[in-house]
Structure 1
Amino acid sequence: MHDLVEEMAHYIVRGAHPNHPEKHSRIWKREDIAYLCDMGVDAPPMETEALVFNRSIFDVVGLSDVVANMKKLRWIRFDNYLTSSFPSNFQPRELGYLELKESLQKELWHGYKSLPNLKILDLTNSSKLITTPDFDGLPCLERLILDGCKSLEEIHPSIGYHKRLVYVDMSKCSGLKSFPPIIQMQMLETLILSKCHELQEFPDIQSNMSTKFENS
């Protein structure tokens, strides 16, 4: 029954414009993603709000440029994302959820980027990730998951001033040596630093809050 319901939902999404995936609100099918990548920079403005991609299906060239052209994106899920950093024009201001599990990026993007509605950033097991983005550009971020980012060396110091973060998981970040001072993280409830074996000292806390810490 679940498969049937899912198939009906897919049909409804594609039904109005079966040959124009740029007009679909949700994109997940191999042929649709490949079609958009073939269009490249010539692709028209897209109506896409949710994009799901798994590299195990196929490898594509130009996917990051396609994503940059999706101004209405609210949800992105990429597994095993191979490409380099997102381009400078990647700035979906409606984006609320970004999941890049097992990504091979060393950094998400260069410099500062404004994603004012992003609430969840999940980079679980992104083993090549070296540094985090500037959190000043993510003012609504509530959950940050970096579990298993074993190459992570640097956490942008702006995290210590983030007023909306509630949950931060940095367990098994085995290369991490320090966590920036916690200055204004009044909303923080959970900070997980377990199995960060290179962490030289516990974060300096200069803010009043009721927080659950995990460190082992």
Structure 2
Amino acid sequence: MKVLDACDLHPGIGIKVLVQKSLIKVDSDGDFEMHDLIEEMAHYIVRGEHTKSPEKHSRILKKEDLAYLCDLGADAPPMETEVLRYGYLDLDLSHVVANMKKLRWIRLFDYGASSFPSNFQPKELGYLELQFSRQKELWHGYKSLPNLKILDLSSSANLIKTPDFEGLPCLERLILEGCWSLEEIHPSIGYHKRLVLVDVRYCSVLKRFPPIIQMQMLETLILSDCHELQQFPDIQSNMSTQFENS
């Protein structure tokens, strides 16, 4: 099999060509049987003709690109970014992401302590994962993210309170597992009509879960190892929900 160097690949190359050249294997679910060359090729395709302008990339996957964007600061131009993903991070992106109006997917670990600014309003954002975040508060006050379906803040040990959920009408899964400093869950959660799963296990200082008023879609509420929880949540609506509490 001929192995192509990433620099030889044209940005417009298709998946079918890669399969024909035996560079990737597609199974019945459409997954790729990704190695290092394929990953590098993916980065090359994403960069396209703007290899030195990460602000024009649809996906930001490398630390050097994130560092470049941080250097631009709050004066950075509007960006084309749709996907922001990186592992453990020692950069503060709070002001950078405010210029990413097209974001659909964020997955970052060890995010900095700064809350997201008021102009962070990616209307298309559907997935927000900030595991091991150092933030005390995700953002201040009300924020409208009408397409957000998954919010994962697990192991965010500094998080003290959750955001207002009224601006997240499509939220389906809320994961707060291991938020050991969490003291307050915003009362708007009890009126949320789309939540299916809420996981607050190991929130060891949480004393109260808000009354459940209109959570008709809720299927699973996990409260295990919340040792300071003073009472089981007050349920004021008819629902068939699986609870886990210990």
**Structure 1 residue 124 corresponds to structure 2 residue 154:** yes
Contact 1:64–1:83 (Cα < 8 Å) also in 2? no
- The match for 1:90 among 113, 120, 139 is 120
Shift of 1:81: 0.8
Task: Read off the aligned partner of 1:2 and give its amino acid letter.
Answer: M
Distance 2:211 2:205 in 1: 18
Distance 1:113 1:201 in 2: 30
- Equivalent position of 2:192 in the other structure: 162
Q: Deviations over 1:13-65 (max 9, x none)?
A: 01221111111000011221111111112321110000013345xx224x211
- Equivalent position of 2:91 in the other structure: 60
Partner of 1:207: helix, strand, or coil? coil
Q: Deviations over 1:43-97 (max 9, x none)?
A: 21110000013345xx224x21110000000001110112311111111111000
- Equivalent position of 2:26 in the other structure: none
Bigger mean CA offset, 76-85 vs 157-166: 76-85
Partner of 2:94: helix, strand, or coil? helix
- Equivalent position of 1:17 in the other structure: 50
Partner of 2:130: helix, strand, or coil? strand
- Asked which structure has the greater RCO (Cα within 8 Å, sep 6+), the reply is 1
- Equivalent position of 1:48 in the other structure: 81
Distance 1:176 1:214 in 2: 16
Distance 1:123 1:102 in 2: 7
Partner of 2:39: helix, strand, or coil? helix
Task: Read off the aligned partner of 1:60 and give its amino acid letter.
Answer: L
**Structure 1 residue 74 corresponds to structure 2 residue 93:** no
Contact 1:124–1:149 (Cα < 8 Å) also in 2? yes
- Equivalent position of 1:2 in the other structure: 34
Tell me, which stretches of 5 or more residues in structure 2 are unaligned? 1-32
Distance 2:88 2:73 in 1: 18
Bigger mean CA offset, 39-48 vs 133-142: 39-48
Task: Read off the aligned partner of 2:53 and give its amino acid letter.
Answer: H
Distance 1:171 1:69 in 2: 34
**Structure 1 residue 31 corresponds to structure 2 residue 61:** no
Contact 1:104–1:127 (Cα < 8 Å) also in 2? yes
Distance 1:53 1:83 in 2: 17
Distance 1:131 1:41 in 2: 26
Bigger mean CA offset, 7-16 vs 161-170: 7-16
Contact 1:55–1:82 (Cα < 8 Å) also in 2? no
Task: Read off the aligned partner of 1:94 and give its amino acid letter.
Answer: E
Distance 1:9 1:53 in 2: 15
Larger Cα-atom Rg: 2
Partner of 1:101: helix, strand, or coil? coil
- The match for 1:208 among 238, 242, 245 is 238
Contact 1:41–1:65 (Cα < 8 Å) also in 2? yes
What is the correspondence of 1:138-149 to structure 2 with a 5 Å cutoff?
138-149=168-179
Task: Read off the aligned partner of 2:62 and give its amino acid letter.
Answer: K
Partner of 1:60: helix, strand, or coil? coil
Distance 2:43 2:216 in 1: 42
Question: What do you get for the CA RMSD once the two structures are aligned?
Answer: 1.1
Sequence identity of aligned pairs in percent? Answer: 77
Q: Deviations over 1:196-215 (max 9, x none)?
A: 00001000111111110000
The count of corresponding residues between Structure 1 and Structure 2 is 213
Shift of 1:5: 2.2
